[in-house]
Amino acid sequence: CIIKNEPGSIDRLLTSVDRALTNGRITVLLVDPSKDSRTELTGILRRQRLSVIEASEASEAMQVLDQGEAIDVIVIDAESADMEPAALLEELRRRQGEDSVPVIGLCEHGDARSAARFIEAGGADFIRKPFLEAEFCGRVRHAATLQQRIQGLRRAAASDYLTEIFNRRHFFVTGPRLVDQCLRRGEGTSIAVLDIDHFKRLNDTYGHEIGDVVLKHVARRLKALVGEEHLLARLGGEEFGILFDGLDVHQAFAFCERVRVELAKSKIVVDDDDLTITVSIGLATVEAPESFENYLHAADQFLYMAKHAGRNRVMS
């Protein structure tokens, strides 16, 4: 491949190579009020192919996190930062809960006690200057890698292996919180349980593998229709749950109706065949605090009614 010598083309090539090397790698959020110190630390980290985002104040760091930047580890100057390290750690836990990004403290003058205090407050690691670059980067990389692995396990624990949407466990962990939030805002919410009609027949006719293809297709379509706003999960077998956030009864019903029609219209290409399926949906409204299981049970009963009324319909 020949690269034309356009002005700036080599630069562009280098930055894209650089990006490819750091992408999917480690991103460090560096919090330090001193510009000189930031420049020095950033240089060290970048030489080790770590991406760095700089912040001069804790509030700026919080903004970076709020913007949804994927940060794997925070490195903070524990002596000169504008926020007490313990307070920062506390604030992080308050905002991010179990998902808190690990924080590594740095100091120049502190004694062993400042390290102990930092670790006790929930810090991941503490490094005193002067340090060897290799040790510093090694510790940063170690904390970041551990965090990435934990996040990977979290994702795996929340997702359904076949369809790659959320699983039942995630639905039952997150669902009650979402319902609480809706009720506290003075809004009701609703839960839909969707079940593919005569799925056993489809399995028996085409085989289990084609059945799996259909499940993946339905999950993909559902995800596209439901989006990120509401909570969607595979509850088990050929059954899916949707928890609606911020829709009233009529809106939720209309939404389910649209989902039903879209799924019935959608063709599933299998070998030379175009398969179609229909679904039945039970929709229950939540107006007063009750157990999450009860909401689901109510939706299940409506689903049962939809099946008995002839399938391919929404009942609420």
List residues with catalytic annotation.
Answer: 238
> Identity (one letter) of the amino acid at 29?
L
Sheet of 27-31, strands arranged across:
51-55, 27-31, 73-77, 103-107, 125-128
Question: Measured from the CB atom, is 144 or 235 closer to ligand GH3?
Answer: 235
Quick one: tokens of 80? 């000169």
Interface map 233-252 toward ligand GH3 (x if CB under 6 A)? ----xx--------------
Residue 77 as a binder of ligand GH3 (CB under 6 A): the answer is: no
Question: Which residue type, as a one-letter code, is found at position 227?
Answer: G
- Which CB atom, from 32 or from 197, has the smaller least distance to ligand GH3? 197
Using the rule CB under 6 A, is 308 a contact of ligand GH3?
no
Residue nearest to ligand GH3 (CB): 211
Count residues binding ligand GH3 (CB under 6 A): 17
307 binds ligand GH3 (CB under 6 A): yes
Please tell me the number of Cα atoms within 13 Å of 82 on its side-chain side: 11
Which listed option, Mg ion, ligand GH3, none, makes contact with residue 239 (CB within 5 to 8 Å by class)? Mg ion
Tokens for 229, please give them: 């706003």
Residue 250 binds which entry of ligand GH3, Mg ion, none, CB below 5-8 Å type-dependent:
none
Tell which residue, 48, 45, 47, has the closest CA to residue 28. 45
Determine which residue in the list 203, 266, 285, 301 makes contact with ligand GH3, applying CB under 6 A.
203
CA 110/CA 131 separation, integer angstroms:
14
239 binds Mg ion (CB under 5 A): yes
Work out which of 185, 208, 258, 308 binds ligand GH3, going by CB under 6 A: 208
Using the contact rule CB under 6 A, the part of the chain among 13-21, 190-198, 258-266, 292-300 near ligand GH3 is 190-198
Instruction: Using the Cα atoms of residue 221, residue 224, residue 230 and residue 231 in order, give the sign of their dihedral.
Output: positive
Q: What are phi and psi of 313, to 5 degrees?
A: -160, 165
Does the footprint of Mg ion cover residue 300 (CB under 5 A)? no
Closest CA to 171 of 228, 125, 234, 112: 234
Pick from 32, 77, 197, 300: which binds ligand GH3 (CB under 6 A)? 197
Centre a 10 Å sphere on the Cβ of residue 16 and count the other Cβ atoms it contains.
11
Least CB distance from residue 304 to Mg ion, whole Å? 9
Nearest distance in Å: CB 279, ligand GH3: 9
Least distance in Å: CB of 239 to Mg ion? 5
Q: Yes or no: say if 301 and 195 are a contact pair by the CB < 8 Å rule.
A: no
How many beta carbons lie within 10 A of that of residue 91, not counting itself? 16
Q: To the nearest whole angstrom, how small is the minimum distance from the Cβ of residue 215 to ligand GH3?
A: 6
Q: Is 160 in the site for ligand GH3 (CB under 6 A)?
A: no
Type and span of the H or E element at 79: none
Measured from the CB of residue 165, what is the shortest distance to ligand GH3 in angstroms? 13
Residue 123: left if φ>0, alpha if ψ -120 to 50, beta else—which one?
beta
Element (H, E) at 123: none
Contact residues for Mg ion (CB under 5 A)? 195-196, 199, 238-239
Contacts with ligand GH3 by CB under 6 A lie at 162, 195-201, 203, 208, 211-212, 215, 237-238, 307, 311
